[in-house]
Amino acid sequence: MTLQAIQYSEGNLAIIDQLQLPHVEKYIPIQTSEEGWHAIKEMRVRGAPAIAIVAALALASELSTLMDCNKLSPSADDTRTFIIEKLHFLVSSRPTAVNLSDAAGKLQTIVEESVKFPQSTGRSVAFAFIKAAEAMLEKDVEDNKKIGKYGAMWISENTLSNNSRARVLTHCNTGSLATSGFGTALGVIRALASTDSLLHAYCTETRPYNQGSRLTAFELVHDRIPATLITDSMAGALLARADIRVNAIVVGADRVAANGDTANKIGTYGLAVLAKHHGVKFLVAAPLTTIDLATKSGDEITIEERPASEVTMVRGICEHGGTSEDVRMATVSIAAKGINVWNPAFDVTPWTLIDGIITERGVMEKGSDGLFHLDKLFKD
Ligand code: MRU
């Protein structure tokens, strides 16, 4: 049984509260776009695909409730305006991951189309939106499974000799908790493990928010995948070890620009530089919804900056030997008071450092001209 970050059934959405993981597994209901916006902003749900889907389903749930209470406008035009305003609001929650604005754009198009149907009503427009949002949830899991399969095949073919198994390093959390299920980069690790082609996974702690130690480690332990946690600063030492040859580093993405420049969790760029130095393959795993052809290069990507408190404080449980029923969370200060803080949530890895981009369509490598041609992925 894989973890489910998002539970949804017929207008009822609940998410696992990732702020409490790995200590407490608690689902919280999300019934409105307002609640969805806060859950995304406060990182109760995070990961590029997951935030897009939660945003879409939060609004779907709100529309379902409005219909159930007979509070939805009977006018198709009014409902369209309502939905579009809510979509703009949801997109304002976090700026870097393109999946959110991609989903909003696609849903807006569906709503605009549905208004054009003769005899369209508020209900018919809302139903069109809900159906499309539900389909996004299904498709994300299917795409992730393909990403996992293609990525695992590429690593086996390009980095392994006969009967050997891979050591793979990953960063941040890109698993079931960051998507509708299975995951992207962590999906590749899952796929390698499922065919007994994985010797060992390494996950970075991922300061300052610790998505690696809290979430990826939690998923790896849950799935009983052989894995070791390291702090971010240990990656160089790991790659330098002659007795442990890491075959590949696989990371996710929040936005891949048309030239292949990739925005992902802060620390990704450093790992890519290390990979180049040590001759380790560096792969980005992401669905097509993360590829943004309208953004020409990484220079155009807005990098979210988050509160200083995420760097100067750490939240966790008090190790007082209590039971799971009396888990006590605490926030502790770990920095000198008064110090300035810079807290970018993401960095940009230049395309030159990337060996392949794994999508649901396969693994794209650079062409004979040495460049990525990501536009080809969108042609049938
Ligand atoms: O700030 P976060 O936790 O939302 O950042 C998540 C990442 O950077 C992931 O690597 C990315 O969203 C891909 S998740 C499949």
Helix H, strand E, coil C: the string for 27-62 is EEEECCHHHHHHHHHCCCCCCHHHHHHHHHHHHHHH
- 17 has catalytic annotation: no
For residues 93 and 37, the answer to whether their CB atoms sit within 8 Å is: yes
Q: Which amino acid is at 347?
A: D
pLDDT at 2: 67
For ligand 1, mutation pick of 254, 255, 304 (most atoms within 8 Å of CB): 254
Ligand 1 neighbours, Cβ below 6 Å, are 46-49, 97, 172, 174, 178-179, 184, 211, 252-254, 264-265, 345
Q: Ligand 1: which of 41, 46, 283 to mutate, most ligand atoms within 8 Å of CB?
A: 46
Decide: 176 and 4 in contact? Cβ < 8 Å.
yes
Q: What is the pLDDT of residue 27?
A: 97
Ligand 1 atom closest to the CA of 51, numbered from 1? 4
CATH for the stretch 145-378: 3.40.50.10470
- Sheet-wide strand order for 248-251: 227-230, 198-204, 166-170, 248-251, 281-285, 356-359, 362-364
Burial of 227 (0-12, 13-18, 19+ CB in 10 A): buried
Among the listed residues 178, 222, 173, the one whose alpha carbon sits nearest the alpha carbon of residue 45 = 178
Q: Which protein residue's CA is at the shortest distance from atom 6 of ligand 1?
A: 47
The answer to whether 249 touches 361, Cβ cutoff 8 Å, is no
Query: Which of 144, 218, 264 gets mutated to test ligand 1 (max ligand atoms within 8 A of its CB)?
Result: 264
CA-CA-CA-CA torsion sign (90, 94, 207, 276): positive
The fold of the 6-140 domain, in CATH, is: Four Helix Bundle (Hemerythrin (Met), subunit A) (1.20.120)
Q: Burial, 71: exposed, middle or buried (Cβ in 10 Å; 0-12, 13-18, 19+)?
A: exposed
Cα 69 to its chain centre, rounded Å, is 34
pLDDT by 10s per residue, the chain, length 380: 667 899 999 999 999 999 999 999 999 999 999 999 999 999 999 999 999 999 999 999 999 999 999 999 999 999 999 999 999 999 999 999 999 999 999 999 999 999 999 999 999 999 999 999 999 999 999 999 999 999 999 999 999 998 899 999 999 999 999 999 999 999 999 999 999 999 999 999 999 999 999 999 999 999 999 999 999 999 999 999 999 999 999 999 999 999 999 999 999 999 999 999 999 999 999 999 999 999 999 999 999 999 999 999 999 989 865 555 667 889 999 999 999 999 999 999 999 999 999 999 999 999 999 999 999 999 97
Residue nearest to atom 15 of ligand 1 (CA): 174
Query: What is the pLDDT, as a whole number, of residue 322?
Result: 57
Ligand 1 atom index nearest CA of 99: 12
* Minimum-distance ligand 1 atom for the alpha carbon of 265: 8
* CA 149 to chain CA mean position, Å: 18
Q: Residue 251 Cα, ligand 1 centroid: separation in angstroms? A: 9
174 CA distance to ligand 1 centroid (A)? 6
Question: What is the rounded CA–CA span in Å between residue 374 and residue 284?
Answer: 13
Phi and psi based region of residue 13 (left: phi greater than 0; alpha: psi -120 to 50; beta: remaining): beta
Residue 346 CA: nearest ligand 1 atom is: 8
Position in ligand 1 atom list of the atom nearest CA 183: 15
Distance 100 CA to ligand 1 centre (A): 12
Give residue 45 CA to ligand 1 midpoint distance, Å: 10
C-alpha dist (Å) from residue 288 to 53, 200, 260 = 14, 28, 12
- The pick from 41, 42, 265, 288 for probing ligand 1's pocket by mutation, whose C-beta has the most ligand atoms within 8 angstroms, reads 265
Distance 114 CA to ligand 1 centre (A): 32
Q: Write the CB contacts of 223 (distance below 8 Å, at least 6 apart in sequence).
A: 2, 190, 193
Q: What are the Cα distances from residue 286, in Å, to 108, 221, 283, 292? A: 23, 23, 10, 11
- Quote the ligand 1 centre to 351 CA distance (angstroms): 18
Distance, CA 253 to ligand 1 centroid (Å)?
7
Q: How far apart, in whole angstroms, are the C-alpha atoms of residue 98 and residue 290?
A: 6
- Nearest-5° angle of CA 268, CA 155, CA 179? 55
Which residue is catalytic, options 254, 261, 347, 355?
254
pLDDT at 239: 98
Instruction: Enumerate the domain spans of the chain.
Output: 6-140, 145-378
Token match 């299920």: residue?
181
Could you tell me which of 175, 232, 188, 182 has the C-alpha nearest to residue 209?
232
For position 13, what pLDDT does the model report? 98
